[in-house]
Amino acid sequence: MKNPDWWRGAVIYQVYPRSFYDSNGDGIGDLPGVTAKLDYIASLNVDAIWLSPFFTSPMKDFGYDVSDYRGVDPIFGTIEDFDELIAEAHKRDLKIMIDQVLSHSSDQHRWFAESRASRDNPKADWYVWADPQADGTPPNNWLSVFGGSAWAWDSRRKQYYLHNFLTSQPDLNFHCPDVVEQVLSDVKFWLDRGVDGFRLDAINFCFHDPQLRDNPPSNAVAEGSIGVRKENPYAYQFHKYDKTRPENLAFLQRLRALLDQYPGTTTVGEIGDDNSLQTMAEYTSGGDKLHMAYSFDLLTEQHGADFFQKTVDSIEKKLTDGWPCWAIGNHDVSRVATRWQARTPQQLKAYMAMLLTLRGSVCIYQGEELGLTEAELEYKDLVDPYGINFWPEYKGRDGCRTPMVWDNKEANGGFSNARPWLPVYDDHYNAAVAVQHGQDNSILQAYRTFLGWRAQQPVLLKGDIDFLDSPENTLVYTRTYEGTTLLVALNLTDNPVRITAPAAGQSVSGTPDFVGGSWHDNELELQPWGVEIATL
């Protein structure tokens, strides 16, 4: 391993396999499809691929309900297909990170089948079971992220079981030592197959309060919360007892100790919490837990220079020795082009430049590099249970999961010869890879060029960050490392602006054409949605 800390400053490309490329004509993307498109991913100049779940699953939540943690679901291929993907990715100097859903399993998992059979079988305590209250109601007031009570009645055991998500996703009981040993064993299985790291789904949900105390009410949605107050009562509670419990820290230390046996491997944790920034700091501090973490702070509809600076400043102050991972899009939120109301390619390029010049690592969601907008689907096309439950106020996550568009002249955008599992959105055809490839001013080419340049800038991979005072709706900050200082200036408005810099700057070379401003001594003029990166 030439660089065991490769993950610091790395750019990770998230692939949602169902929607990436269908190699066998069944309308569903698969692992051989990912392998077939590795050259495309490598052309983006990213460092790693994060694969959303491909494990054996009844697909009630599209793979985030695992029924065999060591199996590949047949719709995605075979374990041999996965091994080939690893080998081919490594030939291209691409790391492979896989999603691990540790806090809960599918109700179709053999563990749950045994656990629910009786109260005294060997796996009776592998899940969170509790007696009803005297009146038959659930044990406490905990709520599911997907709506309603987090408790479901099981007639076999005549008890309730905990499910923080769908009723078909029962929570594992991490207070049971055997569960912890099994989970670590399953992680080791994939490490032995050569994976380079893990994206840890809902990692702060592993432990619950064993006393099952009620959550207190919340009067406001805190930063990084995954609740949507106006239509989802989940945000009405302060989630003090159902997640982010102190016992989780010791488990993360054991998980890190396992990964440390495999030099060059890494973890990035998903933190959905009422106090996400503080949790990120706790989970990444000390070098003995998560390598890095991200929250939902930049995955909401909130945007703008003030919000971005406040969020980054808050994380920087709390993380201390921890390491952030930034994302402005993924498979759980609407496309950033729609969510942040980006009307022009230049706006998307400005947001890209911001994302790729912050301190930390970066996750980019497939199609983000094409500037894809949120797909508008009809109710009859929905498959996401989250959206079906809250329609029409919330349309779910299908709009960001529609198939990748490879060729505007082929049926289904070149994704599949068969009818896809979700329809290809008509507005996406003009943004297809084949349309943007080779176009100097395309969003795709901007990503390729910027990422290639960024990879050669140690100051962006490892440097400190400091924000400077600047006009309203602009962002100005420096990145400093080993005597080199870069100034990053972003005009997030529709009007030209003048910015006073600490000193006269010299525009750097190697960036795309959209980067650059006009310097007059230490005065910088930026065009609408303009970007400048300069040495000071």
pLDDT digits (tens, 9 = 90+) for 67-98: 999 999 999 999 999 999 999 999 999 999 99
The C-alpha atoms of residue 379 and residue 14 are separated, in whole angstroms, by 27
The C-alpha atoms of residue 48 and residue 85 are separated, in whole angstroms, by 13
Number of H helices and E strands in the chain, helices first, is: 14, 21
Question: With bands split at pLDDT 50, 70 and 90, how would you rate the model's confidence at 127?
Answer: very high
Place of tokens 């890209």: 352
**pLDDT by residue (tens digit) across 518-527?**
999 999 999 9
Q: Indicate whether 224 pLDDT > 60.
A: no
Question: With bands split at pLDDT 50, 70 and 90, how would you rate the model's confidence at 393?
Answer: confident
- Out of 55-59, 122-126, 437-441, 449-453, least confident range: 437-441
Q: What is the 3-state secondary structure (H, E, C) of 194-236?
A: CCCEEEECCHHHCCCCCCCCCCCECCCCCCCCCCCCCCCHHHH
The C-alpha atoms of residue 76 and residue 72 are separated, in whole angstroms, by 7
SS3 48: strand
Pairing mode, strands 484-491 and 531-535: antiparallel
- Judge whether 528 and 491 are in contact, CB under 8 Å: yes
Q: Indicate whether 223 pLDDT > 80.
A: no
> What token pair was written down for 128?
């969170």
- Judge whether 164 and 196 are in contact, CB under 8 Å: no
For the chain, domains (ranges, CATH) are: 11-103+177-454 (3.20.20.80), 463-535 (2.60.40.1180)
Q: Residue 144 forms beta bridges with which residues? A: none
Q: CA–CA distance from 250 to each of 223, 255, 256, 283, 343 (Å)?
A: 25, 9, 10, 10, 46
Q: Alpha carbon 423 to chain centroid distance?
A: 23
Q: Alpha carbon 331 to chain centroid distance?
A: 7
The alpha helices in 322-457, defined as continuous H runs, are 336-339, 345-355, 385-390, 433-436, 443-454
**Where are any strands of DSSP class E within 137-211?**
151-154, 159-162, 197-200
- Out of 55-59, 136-140, 229-233, 508-512, least confident range: 229-233
Question: With bands split at pLDDT 50, 70 and 90, how would you rate the model's confidence at 64?
Answer: very high
Closest CA to 304 of 63, 497, 491: 491
The C-alpha atoms of residue 454 and residue 11 are separated, in whole angstroms, by 10
- Judge whether 467 and 476 are in contact, CB under 8 Å: yes
Q: What are phi and psi of 207, to 5 degrees?
A: -105, 150
Q: Residue 478 forms beta bridges with which residues? A: 466, 487
**pLDDT by residue (tens digit) across 5-33?**
999 999 999 999 999 999 999 999 999 99
**Sheet containing 159-162: order of strands:** 129-130, 159-162, 151-154
The C-alpha atoms of residue 351 and residue 361 are separated, in whole angstroms, by 15
> What token pair was written down for 474?
């602009």
Q: Indicate whether 394 pLDDT > 90.
A: no
Q: Could you list the active site residues?
A: 201, 270
Pairing mode, strands 325-327 and 361-365: parallel
> What token pair was written down for 242?
């159902």
The C-alpha atoms of residue 11 and residue 9 are separated, in whole angstroms, by 7
Q: Indicate whether 500 pLDDT > 70.
A: yes
Q: Indicate whether 228 pLDDT > 60.
A: no
- Judge whether 348 and 342 are in contact, CB under 8 Å: yes
The C-alpha atoms of residue 18 and residue 73 are separated, in whole angstroms, by 11
SS3 414: helix
Q: Which amino acid is at 85?
A: L
**pLDDT by residue (tens digit) across 340-354?**
999 999 999 999 999
Q: What are phi and psi of 493, to 5 degrees?
A: -135, 170
CA dihedral 33, 35, 37, 42 (to 10 degrees): 160
What average pLDDT does the segment 279-296 reach?
94
The C-alpha atoms of residue 355 and residue 298 are separated, in whole angstroms, by 10
> Over pLDDT 90: what percentage of the chain?
92
The C-alpha atoms of residue 188 and residue 309 are separated, in whole angstroms, by 39
Q: What are phi and psi of 221, to 5 degrees?
A: -80, 115
pLDDT number for residue 261: 97
Q: Which amino acid is at 196?
A: D
> Over pLDDT 70: what percentage of the chain?
98
Q: What are phi and psi of 487, to 5 degrees?
A: -100, 130
Tell me the pLDDT of the chain averaged across its residues: 96
Place of tokens 């005549």: 158
